[in-house]
Amino acid sequence: MPIETQSTDANHAGTSPSGSIFSNRNFILLWAAYGVSALGDHLSEMGLLKLQDALDPAKTDTTRIKAVMIFVFMLPFFALGPVCGWIADRLPRKWIMIAADVVRAAIMVEMLAILTGLHRWLLPAGPHGPLPLSVAILPMLACGVFAALFSPARLSLLPTIVRPDQIVRANALTAGLGMIATIASALLGGYLVTRFEVVWNFRTDAATFVFSAFCLLLVRPPRGRHASASSHGSLAAIMAGFRYVRRHRRTGEIILTVTVFWTGAAVVSSIIPAMVKNVFGGTYWDIGLYQGLLGFGLVLGSVALTLLGPALRSELAISWSLKLAGLSGILMTLAVAFRWPASICAVGLVGLGFFGAGIQVSVNSMLQRIVPDHFRGRVFGVTDLCSMTGLLLASGLLGLPSWPDIDRHITWIMALTSFALLAVGVWTTRVRLRRGRFGPMVTFWRNLVELHNRLVARVRRDGPCTVPLTGPVIVAANHNCSLDPLLLISTSPNRYPSFMVAREYTEIPVFGRLIGLIDCIPVNRTGIDTASVKAALRHLAAGGIIGLFPQGGIRPPGETGEIHEGIGMLALRSGAVVIPAHISGTHHSDSVVAPFFRPQRAVVRYGGPIDLSRWNGREKDRTAYGEAARYIMERIEALKPAAAEG
């Protein structure tokens, strides 16, 4: 699997190397601004649905009304995405967002007056009956323009005000708060249009944008971030974003996955009103409730990603989230098709939201990590264009043609969407495994090892991995618990060490298969096993890498015990490069199983190659084997941190 690289920013305002993300003033302000503005999003939407009498039983095009509204609002993301991204790379991102909020607030304050004026202008005889859809979409189009301007500026600013290791959590927290606000917005919007005048939906929406602008005014981002090539105001500078995506295949694949996600999101959002009306029955409040279930799933997914943080690789999260979102959609489809209890449909909606959060958060985090700051706005602009192409295609196909009785076909629409998500998830998994440098099976196994070690052992590498990229290598480390071999595997990104393991372990179902995948060498515990020694020498002669523990068995921290001379023999006879590694932060245990379930704070530190030249010419001297083995152990102990945990 490709190693995720991180784009490095010059500095991260409001952060410290050890500070919590919640102590970052800039992030909290940006977080609050996004959350409170998201609170108002569905307030105006519910108001417009009410003005159009969308739940009138006589209407058979509720799906079309909702789809057209989505289409018009998102159209500027498609039409202006690259331009807005270029603006985010050229102008101060904070002030771009403030300007977008202020204009949207002004539009919302005058929304009802604008709608009334447009209605009278288009229908001079005077407005009678529900608001025409052609009138309702125009103010939404104007708001969409400034929302498209806001988006790449926010996504590009975020990684400049948090540390690289906090990017996943920052995106997850932002998405989670946004979804909480969306749930509250949908419910509040339905309540307001049911109990009060529609104008209060628009006024409340305006207040959220004003508060968002105030929070952004207090943000203090790093200075001097736009003095790069992005400052050239020309078509060439805008097109540079497209060229970057075209030249970086990985970025293009990420954008493709988020495009599929937004396509599915448009379909699900469009069919919810018709599903409520025709399948489960209900009112505007119920539309808000079902949309709230989708948002609730997004909150749960965001919480899960906040807890996982960097433990889950973004590429892994994207591929599995796509597959599981597809399965959730299939469950929802079956519930609608066979009129199963509404609770089952609710589970499907929550699942779609949960895994949708995995897709969206992971995509944003990956792009923020791998794209340089001076290209970040334009790449997010291209991302907006592509993702909105999918959204507009879906909502346009549902809303623009006058499909007869389209509400009756929502089951087939949802089924096609679900299988598309599942198929793309399978494709991304195949691409990821085939691209792995170790082959599909070993890459899959390493992904599981890395997930466990990051999540349970919370392993981190202190300093670079010094394992050479080619040639025979022996990685020598101390041995505190049974988890140590996997810690070495997950912290050596370019090569994985094989190990000499007791033969009985190779006979355990599944586990033995995994051992065989990484070419481990079986060893008999009784007597001198010359066959395993010869196998190890052949492995090294072929340019392989072996992980060894000079202590022989598991030892408590600080207790060296007898040093086995076998490592000295293999090192001198093979001529392999010997790399010392020290493992700290794990809990000592003689149990084979317990360390895999006990939380750890493992730290692996690699040292430079050990110079064994003093024993040249003594490749068959057993005394030299012991001396070399003890020296290797001394070099391992020298890597021990001053305050290493036991």
**Residue 10: what pLDDT?**
38
**Residue 405: what pLDDT?**
74
**Interval 58-70 mean pLDDT:** 69
**pLDDT of 359 above 60:** yes
**Residue 4: what pLDDT?**
34
| 316-335 confidence digits (pLDDT tens) | 888 889 999 999 999 988 98
**Interval 604-630 mean pLDDT:** 90
Of 55-69, 403-417, 542-556, least confident by mean pLDDT is 55-69
**Residue 596: what pLDDT?**
84
Provide the pLDDT confidence category of residue 541 given band limits of 50, 70 and 90: very high
User: Average pLDDT of the chain?
Assistant: 81
**Nearest-angstrom CA–CA distance, 308 and 304:** 6
| 242-253 confidence digits (pLDDT tens) | 889 989 988 988
- Residue 201 has φ and ψ, to the nearest 5°, of -60, -45
Q: Cβ distance 465 to 492 under 8 Å?
A: yes
Provide the pLDDT confidence category of residue 38 given band limits of 50, 70 and 90: confident
**pLDDT of 340 above 80:** yes
**Nearest-angstrom CA–CA distance, 260 and 25:** 35
Q: Cβ distance 572 to 636 under 8 Å?
A: no
- Which residue do the tokens 């997950």 mark? 490
**Residue 76: what pLDDT?**
86
> Within the chain, how many helices (H) and strands (E) appear?
21, 7
Residue 322's closest CA among 459, 427, 208?
Answer: 427
**Nearest-angstrom CA–CA distance, 370 and 378:** 14
Q: Is pLDDT larger for residue 399 or for residue 84?
A: 84
Strands 473-477, 603-606: pairing kind: unpaired
**Nearest-angstrom CA–CA distance, 557 and 477:** 12
Beta bridge partners of 581: 477, 606
Q: Is 451 helix (H, G, I), strand (E, B) or coil?
A: helix
Q: Which two tokens stand for residue 245?
A: 């995506």
What is the residue extent of each domain of the chain? 21-218+234-435, 440-638
**Residue 174: what pLDDT?**
85
Q: Which two tokens stand for residue 505?
A: 């372990």
| 124-183 confidence digits (pLDDT tens) | 544 456 777 777 777 778 888 888 899 899 999 999 898 887 888 888 888 888 777 877
**Residue 227: what pLDDT?**
41
| 268-294 confidence digits (pLDDT tens) | 888 887 777 766 666 666 777 787 788
**Residue 118: what pLDDT?**
67
Question: What CATH superfamily is the domain 21-218+234-435?
Answer: MFS general substrate transporter like domains (1.20.1250.20)
Amino acid at site 636: I
**Interval 553-558 mean pLDDT:** 74
**pLDDT of 586 above 80:** yes
Apex 255 CA angle, 250 and 257, nearest 5: 100
**pLDDT of 7 above 50:** no
**Interval 523-547 mean pLDDT:** 84
| 192-242 confidence digits (pLDDT tens) | 777 877 777 788 888 889 999 999 999 988 765 544 444 445 678 888 888
**Residue 281: what pLDDT?**
64
**Residue 515: what pLDDT?**
79
Q: Is pLDDT larger for residue 187 or for residue 489?
A: 489
**Nearest-angstrom CA–CA distance, 306 and 112:** 40
| Residues above pLDDT 70, as percent of the chain | 86
Edge-to-edge, what's the strand order for the sheet holding 577-584? Answer: 460-461, 603-606, 577-584, 473-477, 545-548, 498-502, 521-523
**Residue 15: what pLDDT?**
45
Q: Is pLDDT larger for residue 102 or for residue 141?
A: 102
**pLDDT of 310 above 70:** no
| Residues above pLDDT 90, as percent of the chain | 22
**Residue 9: what pLDDT?**
42
**Residue 627: what pLDDT?**
92
